[in-house]
Amino acid sequence: MKAAVLAIIIALRVGCTSEVMAEDQAASRVAFFGFQLINTSLEPTTPKETIRIRSLNETFQQMLNSSGRFQLAPIPPVLENAIAAVSIANCNGCERELALKVAADLAAWGTVQKVSNLILNINVYMEDTHTKQMVFVKSVDIRGNTDESWQRGLDYLLRHYLLNQ
């Protein structure tokens, strides 16, 4: 009899613990504001670089969605216009306010700094909208201004640092 009662108590505790763990592991809502190119090189920005920025945006969204750890919050067109009008990387907290408007837990954005056609870096930022604290800031350097180098750089940053795969 005591063994049966003990087994029931243990089963209830394990069930409660796994329920709490499932709640803790719920996907965080992310407002993703995209990547921006910061061109500090002497060469002008090319149309290919503009396409690469869009490609990074798509890759970032796909990888976050497929991770199960994050859920992207849809950005309505009105907010998309507000985002396009500012530089999220230098807006002194506007990213937080914009993310809160779509009920997101995190605001995320990225930059690609082009120093030259040989030296570039990809940066990803995530800020907790409630605590106003940066929860993820990481940069990877890439060599070469190609579709492949940009994609590999972002893939490495996300897999090894943000998603820990």
Give the domain CATH number at 79: 3.40.50.10610
Mean pLDDT of the chain: 86
- Asked if the model's pLDDT at residue 53 lies above 60, the reply is yes
Tell whether the model's pLDDT for residue 14 goes beyond 70: no
pLDDT in tens, 54-73: 999 999 999 999 999 999 99
Whole-angstrom Cα distance, residue 71 to residue 61? 9
Does residue 72 fall inside a structural domain? yes
pLDDT band at 52 (very low <50, low <70, confident <90, very high): very high
| Domains: count for the chain | 1
pLDDT tens digits, residue range 82-141? 777 777 777 877 888 889 999 999 999 999 999 999 999 999 999 999 999 999 999 999
Q: What is the pLDDT of residue 25?
A: 63
Residue 7 in any domain: the answer is no
Task: Tell me the C-alpha distance between 155 and 24, whole Å.
Answer: 26
Instruction: Give the long-range contacts of residues 48-53, CB within 8 A, separation 24 or more.
Output: 48/147, 49/112, 49/114, 49/145, 52/112, 52/147, 52/150, 53/112
Percent of the chain with pLDDT over 70: 84
Is 111 a member of any domain?
A: yes
Domain range holding 152? Answer: 27-162
With a CB cutoff of 8 Å and minimum separation 6, the contacts of 36 are 53, 87, 88, 89, 109, 110, 111, 112
Note whether residue 157 is domain-resident.
yes
